[in-house]
Amino acid sequence: MFKYDVFINSLADLPEGKEIKLSVRDLSPGLQKYAYKHVMAMVSPDADKYPEKLQVRFGRGQVHNQPYSIQVVKEVSIVPERYL
Amino acid sequence: MYKDNREYIKALEAAGELVTINQEVDWDMEAGAIVRKVCEEKLQSPLMNKIKEYPGHRYFGAPLSTYRKLAIAMGLDPNSSIPEIANVYLERTTNKAPVKPVLVDKDKAPCKENIFIGDEADILNLLPAPIVHEGDGGRYLCTWHFIVTKDPDNGDVNWGMYRQMVYDGKTMTGPLLPFSDGGKVFHGKYKPAGKPMPFATVIGPDPISAIAASAPSPIPETDFAGMLMGKPIELVKCETVDLEVPANAEIIIEGEILPDVSLEEGPFGEYTGYRTSPRDMRTCYRVKAITFRNDPITTISNMGVPTDEGQLLRSFSLGLEMDKLLRSQGIPITGVFMMPESTHHLVIVGVKPIYTNIAAQIAQTVFGSKLGPWFHMVVVVDDKCDIYNFNEVLHAWTTKCHPGTGIHIWQGVGTPLYPFLSAAERIKSVGPKVLFDCTFPLDWDSFSEVPSLVSFKTVYPQELQDKVLANWEKYGFKS
């Protein structure tokens, strides 16, 4: 069961072994399903390396057949404080 | 005519154009799949009374996806033909005084029956934003709606149908293209000044207001809606922004479009029938307030292969606004028709070809207008061809258009949604435009050079035609 998914242009957008900024969709069931989170995270093409499963999609929604894993380090706000 | 969507829904039901679904429907693709099938098979509009996880909410899908529904929305006989509906549209909106809207008090506005402001105004907690297609970039709450904005300099109000995807409970994102009316004001005025642009999204407006919002008329949409309806639209002031919205709409979302923030949006199944424009950074809408009627009805349009209401209504109104434009220039057209099945890319213009290159003049006029970015093919036929009869148009197209001299191509403004464009063309919003001139050259001698059309109506004497028609059933045919 995937916890998050992410839309990317190419797999190069998901480098392993370094903290990267991503917009991920939270796939947890409920009213907030598919809400986006802006996060700093570690990702891996090894589906078991990090605690959560990550589904990868490309720019037109195509599903990548290889599940990734993800560890969210922290959430970051993309909207400046003055608008919150 | 109907003051709100609910009266319109009753009229659809009376005409056999509504299916009421009382079993629970999932907002996560199931509702979208129902609406998609309805569009592709030109079926009745579904009213879904029970939405998973959102008690008290309802969906109304494919509200205006056929000409039959359009006729009902305009108060006409459901069996009205396309030219009959078009003539009523033109009659109500040409050379008439604008019908200004009226402002009503908050206590007379159903859209204020439930009011949520600030932190309480969380889209996903309050509204059943659907996943319309598998693979969409998010929950598209706003597919049959319009966005109200105001020009900061002259106060001109715009209603525009620009899709919006829910990013999170307080944020939406979507393409506000720079050549759209709303986009011109945002990208040309608010953004350079670094100021947020107030907006109000109207979901589930009465059908006439929806038609007005999708019409590219130079008349303000508020007045245009009044002209089509034959009485003023009732507006009410918003709670948190200096804008007015239709008092009888189902749901209102108020907020600001941020001048210096972009968010990822898309992909989305689009009106062209493809998922074309890939995910990109687009306009950011921050939500300040949400108001809605009791038992609110969220409208769903499902863009994809024809025919959805976006394709049908934009074809209808784009074509008729082109009709007005060409007549205003004194060009002797017989009419303009856009086929919804072409996803409003193909314009058919009938004209009395009284001078050489009249087809080029027509194409240059419509491509050069503010309507131009939304289509790229113009087919000009002569006044003997019925523009609403595609068999006749196709015949003229394939027999009168000279491949060497009758096809003209220009570079123009396009939309990033054209499926045939390269990625570079999409980014710049440019694209080629093509004219198919399906008129015979005027300098051909009508007796010796112009081919004779071989049809029942043109090659037999009138008396013989009358005789055959009079005896048609006696021959054994059905009339």
Q: How far is B20 from chain A (nearest CA, A)?
A: 24
Q: Round to whole Å and give the CA distance between B187 and B177.
A: 9
Percentage of chain B modeled with pLDDT above 70: 100
pLDDT at B427: 86
Contact A83 B286 (CB under 8 A): yes
pLDDT at B350: 98
Contact B53 A25 (CB under 8 A): no
Structure tokens that stand for B209 in this block: 């207001």
Q: Round to whole Å and give the CA distance between B454 and B312.
A: 33
Please, what is the Cα angle at B341 between B340 and B344, to 5 degrees? 45
N-term to C-term CA, chain B: 35
Q: How far is B308 from chain A (nearest CA, A)?
A: 21
Sheet holding B407-413, edge to edge: B333-338, B346-351, B377-382, B430-438, B407-413
Residue among B171, B240, B279 with most chain A CBs within 10 A, to mutate: B279
Q: CA separation (Å) from A9 to B264, B277, B402?
A: 12, 12, 43
Q: CA separation (Å) from B47 to B20, B26, B69, B292, B307?
A: 5, 13, 14, 18, 18
CATH architecture of B329-441: 3-Layer(aba) Sandwich (3.40)
For chain B, residues classed under CATH 2.30.110.10 are: 5-300
pLDDT at B179: 87
For chain B, residues classed under CATH 3.40.1670.10 are: 329-441
Q: How far is A37 from chain B (nearest CA, A)?
A: 8
pLDDT at B277: 81
Instruction: Write the pLDDT tens digit of every residue in B389-430.
Output: 999 999 999 999 999 999 999 999 988 889 999 989 988 889
What residue ranges do the domains of chain A occupy?
A: 4-77
Q: Does A26 touch chain B (CB under 8 A)?
A: no
Please, are residues A16 and A68 in contact by the beta-carbon 8 Å criterion?
Answer: no
Per DSSP, the residues of B359-428 read HHHHHHHHHTSTTGGG--EEEEEETTS-TT-HHHHHHHHHHHS-TTTSEEEEEEE--TT-TTS-HHHHHH
DSSP label at residue B453? P
Contact B256 A83 (CB under 8 A): yes
Q: Does B32 touch chain A (CB under 8 A)?
A: no
Contact B261 A78 (CB under 8 A): yes
pLDDT at B416: 85
Q: At what angle do helices B221-229 and B207-214 cross, to 10 degrees?
A: 130
Among B125, B138, B278, whose Cβ lies nearest the Cβ of A59? Answer: B278
Q: CA separation (Å) from B280 to B73, B213, B265, B308?
A: 36, 25, 6, 24
Residue range B5-300, CATH number: 2.30.110.10
Tell me which chain B residues have a C-beta less than 8 angstroms from the C-beta of A78: 261, 263
CA-based R_g, chain A, Å: 13
Please give the interface size between A and B, counted as residue pairs whose CB atoms are below 8 Å apart: 67
Please, are residues B383 and B351 in contact by the beta-carbon 8 Å criterion?
Answer: yes
Residue B170, C-beta contacts closer than 8 angstroms, at least 6 positions apart:
B121, B122, B123, B286, B287
Average pLDDT per consecutive 10 residues, chain B (479 residues; last block may be shorter): 96 98 98 98 98 98 98 98 96 95 98 98 98 97 98 97 97 94 97 98 97 94 97 98 98 98 95 90 97 98 96 96 97 97 97 97 96 95 96 98 97 90 90 97 95 94 98 94
A residues 42-81 closer than 8 Å to B (CB): 57, 59-63, 78-80
Residues in chain B: 479
Structure tokens that stand for A69 in this block: 């894993």
Contact B261 A9 (CB under 8 A): no
Please, are residues B105 and B231 in contact by the beta-carbon 8 Å criterion?
Answer: no
Tell me which chain A residues have a C-beta less than 8 angstroms from the C-beta of B29: none
Contact B166 A34 (CB under 8 A): yes
ipTM surpasses cut 0.90: yes
Q: Does B120 touch chain A (CB under 8 A)?
A: no
Tell me which chain A residues have a C-beta less than 8 angstroms from the C-beta of B261: 78-80, 83
The stretches in chain A having pLDDT less than 70 are none
Please provide the average confidence, as pLDDT, over all residues in chain A: 96
